[in-house]
Amino acid sequence: MIYIAADHRGFRLKEELKKWLETELYEFRDLGAIEYDRDDDYPEIAIKLGETVVQDQGRGILICGSGAGASIAINKVVGIRAGLCTSVKQVIAARTDDNINVLCLSSDWVSAEDNQKITENFLNTFFSSEERHLRRINQIKDYETKKR
């Protein structure tokens, strides 16, 4: 399952990506914002998406204006490995090496067409499972679960 969400600045791009996901027959669920609200807050939207992705072991697409704020917020959710990707090469590396489970997109700095290509590669690129990449991801998991 693919979960998608955006704040007001990413709302239009989210709606465009949903149409593309439908035509490509991807199963997805929109976690909001359901309607444009210029006063909504990206942390609430990001955390809801992150918790859902972790609980259901799915993947997510999260959109805000710069992509940075949403990325910061969602990476606070234990079990999330979100990456802000602005190119196809970057998202392929992020999936192959880092096994990102949430793609963060910038609606302000990357075109809708490029964001669609980035999304397509996020959904169609698989984790390499190489030992060095697994080792690094496990180091992050160990930190997340370490008692403080």
**Phi, psi at 147, each rounded to 5°:** -75, 135
This prediction has a pTM of 0.95
Give the tens place of pLDDT for each residue, 47-68: 999 999 999 999 999 999 999 9
Tell me what pLDDT residue 147 has: 73
d(CA 65, CA 12): 11
- pLDDT over 90 at 146, yes or no: no
Token pair, residue 108, equals 């302000």
Q: Tell me: pLDDT of 124 over 90.
A: yes
Show the domains of the chain with their CATH numbers.
Answer: 2-145 (3.40.1400.10)
Matching residue, tokens 């979100």: 82
Angstrom distance (rounded) from CA 88 to CA 73: 23
pLDDT higher than 90, residue 17: yes
Q: What are phi and psi of 107, to 5 degrees?
A: -80, -20
